[in-house]
Amino acid sequence: GAGVSQSPSNKVTEKGKDVELRCDPISGHTALYWYRQRLGQGLEFLIYFQGNSAPDKSGLPSDRFSAERTGESVSTLTIQRTQQEDSAVYLCASSLIDGYTFGSGTRLTVV
């Protein structure tokens, strides 16, 4: 597609439920990144994919967080047993070389 697409754009979930966030990168972009942005704060790195492998998972905050990617296409970020501190905007970005193209993010609210 023309840009990076994320879905859903908004998600409200109850504490303890699992959620799945989706990212469709720009076609042909081999690198894909997930970041988290809490209200009024900077971007926090979560995970990086090159193709469908993840050479850097160092930013995943706990084992409740996992991500996968199918080939050089769609990625899903799964948060199990959500907690209130998981509330944030989750941003996905893709790139070919340097300089990311970001999606508009998924705003997750855990109540």
Partner 1 sequence: EDQVTQSPEALRLQEGESSSLNCSYTVSGLRGLFWYRQDPGKGPEFLFTLYSAGEEKEKERLKATLTKKESFLHITAPKPEDSATYLCAVLRNTGGFKTIFGAGTRLFVKA
Which residues in this chain contact partner 1 in the complex, by CB under 8 A? 4, 31, 33, 35, 41-45, 48, 50, 55-56, 58-59, 91, 93, 98-105
The residue written with tokens 């990212």 in the block is 23
Is the CB of 16 or the CB of 61 nearer to partner 1?
61
**Residue placing its CB nearer to partner 1 in the complex, 85 or 98:** 98
Nearer to partner 1, 16 or 92 (CB): 92
The CB-of-36 to partner 1 minimum distance in angstroms stands at 11
- Mind giving me the DSSP string for 9-68? SEEEE-TT--EEEEEE--TT--EEEEEEE-TTS-EEEEEEEETTEEEE-TT--STTEEEE
